[in-house]
Amino acid sequence: MSNIRSWAISTLQYEFNSDAFLTQALTHRSASSTNNERLEFLGDAVLDTVISEIVYRQCPQASEGELSRLRSALVKDTSLAALAAELGLGEHLILGPGEKKAGGHRRASILADALEAVFAAVYLDDGYDTAARVIGTAFGDRLENLPDPADLRDPKTRLQEYLQSKRLGLPTYEITDTSGKAHKQSFTVSCSIDILRKLTSGVGTSRRDAEQNAAEIMLEELEHSG
């Protein structure tokens, strides 16, 4: 039994009928032309559908906007990357030599994409119901202890409100790096507050997502420091 097969059984509680799906899901484009990019596309849709149904059923009083914020909090790239790391997925990624040397097994975008690809692999291997069960297993307590939708206003808005309450100036956002192909770019954005001499950096698949990530990190730092 291969290491990745053992990992799927012990961590996801699922035994693949075809190991080829799982292997492809864990293969980064740097390693092979037969990689997980198409599976990631499908997995994104499967994950959105499963999580949408879960929050819809668990939060009968929530509005459409609140449900959207709950779903977004669960499936955003940073959340998926953190979940993938907890599941030990990075240890089983198949990377090209350059990406492996650069620490690709810890790169948030690679982890998030691979996790979505794994969910797609389960879907193709045994259908929607099994994929939904595996997603539920992977997310675990995250689905049992959903945050209050009121706390899920976007980070940029919450950071602006925090700074205004302290009578401080607004933050400045600036793109510092872009990478990847046109259809799957990764943006790195800085968030700076000059008067406090603070600077954070966020990553996302769009400029907006990267700004939100940088704002969220900044807000956490400010709240932690009091």
Using the 3D structure, point to which of 96, 114, 148 is the last residue of a domain. 148
Using CA atoms, how far apart are residues 136 and 58, in angstroms rounded to an integer? 13
Q: Is residue 18 within 8 Å of 39, Cβ to Cβ? A: no
Q: Note down the domain range covering 7.
A: 3-148
Q: What is the pLDDT of residue 1?
A: 47
Are residues 159 and 144 both part of a single domain? no
Distances (CA, A) of 19 to 2, 61, 125, 196: 9, 41, 9, 52
Reduced 3-state DSSP string for 182-195: HHHCEEEEEEEEHH
Active-site positions?
44, 116
91 plus 12 within the same structural domain = yes
Q: Are both 180 and 130 inside the same structural domain?
A: no
What residues have CB less than 8 Å from 209, skipping those under 6 apart?
76, 77, 187
- Same domain, yes or no: 108 and 209: no
The pTM of the whole model exceeds 0.75: no
194 and 125 assigned to the same domain: no
* pLDDT score of 226: 61
Burial string for 82-96 (b: 16+ CB within 10 Å, else e) reads ebbbebebbebbbbb
Task: Give the CATH number for residue 172.
Answer: 3.30.160.20
Last residue of a domain, one of 116, 148, 180: 148
Please name the residue ranges forming H helices in 127-205: 128-139, 141-144, 155-165
Indicate the number of domains in the chain. 2
Evaluated on CA atoms 106, 107, 112, 117, the torsion sign reads: negative
CATH number of the domain residue 102 falls in: 1.10.1520.10
Same domain for 121 and 166, yes or no, is: no
Do 143 and 181 share a domain, yes or no? Answer: no
Rounded CA-CA distance 196/121 in Å is 47
The pLDDT, as a whole number, for residue 69 is 86
Residues 133 and 174 in one domain: no
What residues does 188 pair with on adjacent strands? 177, 203
Contacts of 153 (CB under 8 A, 6+ apart): 69
Both 53 and 122 in one domain: the answer is: yes
CB 168 within 8 A of CB 193: yes
Assess whether 65 and 138 both reside in one domain. Answer: yes
> Which of 100, 115, 148 delimits the end of a domain?
148
Residues 91 and 139 reside in one and the same domain: yes
pLDDT tens for each residue of the chain, 226 residues long:
478 999 999 999 999 999 999 999 999 999 999 999 999 999 999 999 999 999 999 999 889 988 998 998 899 888 999 999 999 999 999 999 999 999 999 999 999 999 999 999 999 999 999 999 999 999 999 998 888 877 777 889 889 989 999 999 899 999 999 988 776 789 999 999 999 999 999 998 889 999 999 999 999 999 887 6
Q: What is the pLDDT of residue 118?
A: 98
| Edge-to-edge order in the sheet of strand 186-193 | 172-179, 186-193, 198-204
Number of CB atoms found within 10 A of residue 224's CB: 7
Judgement on whether residues 161 and 141 belong to the same structural domain of the protein: no
